[in-house]
Amino acid sequence: MKILGTQNQSVWLSAGTVTQHLSKHPEIGIPEYRLIPEIVDSGEIYSKGADRIIYLWKNGKLYRTALKKTKGDQGNYMLTMFQTTEKVAERNVRIKYERIR
């Protein structure tokens, strides 16, 4: 909420996003979605412009999660969540974006 400057502290996950995830990232299911609060609370955070942030969080597996704020700054939506590797995270996130936390 503070990082994105939104009015709402909730993170929403749309039915459309879940449908996309089921086909693109079959390794992600209900147990992984339940990790979202912990990822948001304790993951590395990287700024991707004014309206998006990327989280990296490791708990045996490394996950990459991205959130965006809605127009009007009213809410936060999860865009994606998938497993990644340290090498890919380094190349695609850590050296590319500004770390916030």
User: Above pLDDT 90, what percent of the chain?
Assistant: 50
Q: CB of 47 within 8 A of CB of 35?
A: no
The answer on pLDDT for 35 being more than 70 is yes
Look at 26 and 6; give whichever has higher pLDDT.
Answer: 26
Residue 1 is predicted with a pLDDT of 61
- The mean pLDDT of 2-18, rounded to a whole number, is 79
- The mean pLDDT of 19-46, rounded to a whole number, is 90
Residue 24 is predicted with a pLDDT of 92
For the domain spanning 11-99, the CATH number is 3.30.2310
| Residue spans per domain, the chain | 11-99
Backbone angles phi, psi at 79, to 5 degrees: -95, -40
Confidence of residue 5 (pLDDT cuts 50, 70, 90): low
